[in-house]
Amino acid sequence: MNDTFDLRINESHIEVHKFHGGTILLCVIIALVLQAFLPVYITKASILDLPLLITIYFGLSRRNPSTGLLLGTFIGLLQDSLSKTPIGLFGIAKTVIGYLASSIGARLDTEHPLARFALTAVFFAVHQGIVVVVQKLLLAQPQPWFTTRLLIACIVNAVLGVFLYHFLDRLRKS
């Protein structure tokens, strides 16, 4: 099997990236552990959503909606199980983000840092929107749609995403 192959949609020329065995699982575990561990020592780190960044990156890179959404589900459910939220809240949100990221990744070239920044910011907002909708509609928990903290978190995560994705690019099979 080829390490990389080309996907042609509407005459566009988009590369599907593959990773060494265990890379994705390892990245997911590290992201979850850091997400739970960093805020103990750096309080401000609680605004980061590393599992979301990992979901977006591998969704954009693998460009297969089915694997993207299943990876999102897996990460979301693990994040739920490390939080006090009911199991499924982040699962649903990250399933949708995994699907959207891989669908967009299959149509657009998402390698440019500016494109990555914009996509991460949009996905963060969509993710937050889904979480609030589920909390309001299914769990009857009143949550604000927008706070300054969320806006800051959106920008910080998008900036971090650009650097993190650049690092993760190095883990691709050449």
Partner 1 sequence: MAGLPSRHRSLFLLAGVVLLQVLMLAVQIKSDSQGRLIRVWTVSAVSPVERSGAWGIGKFRDAWRHYFALSDTARQNEELIRENGRLKLEIMQLQSKSAEADRLASLLNFKQKQAKVPMVLARVIGSGADANSAVVYLDQGLHEGIRKNMGVITPEGVVGKVIESYGDTSQVLLLTDRDSGVGAMIADSRIHGQVGGMGEPLLDMKHVGADEEVKIGDRVVTSGMDRIFPKDLPVGTISQVKPGTAFKQIRVRPSANIERLEEVIVLLTTDPLSLKPDASANGNAAAAPPAPGQPISGLTNTKPAEKHP
Q: Which is nearer to partner 1, 7 or 112 (CB)?
A: 7
Residues forming a β-bridge with 19? 172
**Packing angle between helix 148-169 and helix 50-62, nearest 10 degrees?**
50
- Closer Cβ to partner 1, 131 or 158, answer by number: 131
- Chain positions 98 to 137 lying near partner 1, rule: CB under 8 A, are 99, 103, 131, 134
Alpha-helix runs per DSSP H in 42-88: 50-62, 65-81
- Asked if 65 touches partner 1 (CB under 8 A), the answer is yes
For residues 90 and 45, the answer to whether their CB atoms sit within 8 Å is no
Report CA torsion sign: 121, 123, 127, 130: positive
Rule CB under 8 A: choose which of 54, 56, 60, 69 binds partner 1. 69
Query: Least distance to partner 1 from the beta carbon of 130, Å?
Result: 10
59 binds partner 1, rule: CB under 8 A: no
Task: Identify the CA nearest to 48 among candidates 56, 39, 57.
Answer: 39
Q: What is the largest CA-CA distance in the chain?
A: 50
Give the nearer residue to partner 1 in terms of CB position, either 26 or 112. Answer: 26
- Smallest separation, CB 113 to partner 1 (Å): 24
> Site for partner 1 (CB under 8 A): how many residues?
48
Binding site for partner 1 (CB under 8 A): 32-33, 35-37, 39-41, 43, 46-49, 51, 64-66, 69-70, 73, 77-92, 95-96, 99, 103, 131, 134, 138-139, 141, 143, 149, 153
